[in-house]
Amino acid sequence: MRKTILITGSTDGIGLETAKTLASQGHHVLLHGRSKRKLDQAEKALSEISDSARVETYLADLSSMAAVVALAEAVIEKHDKLDVLINNAGVYKIDDPITRDGLDARFAVNTIAPALLTQKLLPLLGADARVISLSSAAQAPVNPQALLGKIKMQDTSDAYAQSKLALTMWSQAMALAMKDSGPVFISVNPGSLLATNMVKEGFGIPGSDIQIGDSILLRLALNEEFASKSGQYFDNDMGAFNRPHVDALDSQKCEQVVKAIESVLADVAR
């Protein structure tokens, strides 16, 4: 069965490789990127893969909450159903970490944008849909004040790790809140230090085979084996579901982080 699938950050890396495979299988792929040039290149690459592939492109800078809302509205305008949302876009090393919204860019792109985009697209995501959010093996205790943009993060690695744990906590909370009425929510570490631009630029190493990440995203998005795993965290370094950082198992800490995310989302809605 062909599915309609939106992948954020799909002009390179894991997102692009996953999009290519989905296109080759005849799925309707919604590409997203923040560079028109790279978005056009990705669209061309997918269109050449299969005559039956349906490809759309969406341009948006996910560090801007207004752009995230506009992205959701553009998708809603064209579609009344979305089968899979893959929150893949992410940032690690960035020159100016403070966004126009006054947020740390790592939290804005890695945590708030996926939450906001998902919230806006929920009317399109039925009970059989899936929301796959890219977490990381790098997870660190979240400072809610940093997430809210009230404390400036000095350490790039810590900011990234906090943003990924926050996203994992949010995914878990959404699964609990939606239960059987909403889509399946799964967070995933697609594999540590894969050959993405983020790894090459942030760590100065070539990285491991990117197909490792591609293959698990395809499984999570399409395979029936994951239909009953909402709220869980898949660690692809282990090839199995695993416990995330211990803070994600602490209901009080999760509540604090999710409340901080919801506070930012409420500000955006004003």
Query: Exposed, middle or buried: residue 60 (CB in 10 Å: 0-12, 13-18, 19+)?
Result: buried
Would residue 160 show up in a list of annotated catalytic residues for this protein? Answer: yes
The number of beta carbons lying within 10 Å of the beta carbon of residue 73 is: 11
Which of 164, 171, 230, 233 is catalytic? The answer is: 164
> For residue 68, what are its two tokens?
């995230």
Residue 85 main-chain phi, psi, to 5 deg: -120, 120
Question: Roughly what angle, to the nearest 10 degrees, separates helices 113-121 and 65-78?
Answer: 30
Would residue 152 show up in a list of annotated catalytic residues for this protein? Answer: no
- The amino acid occupying position 172 is Q
Which of 10, 63, 133, 135 is catalytic? The answer is: 135
**Cα 5–chain centre separation:** 13
Which of 58, 92, 160, 233 is catalytic? The answer is: 160
Would residue 135 show up in a list of annotated catalytic residues for this protein? Answer: yes
Q: Give catalytic residue positions.
A: 135, 160, 164
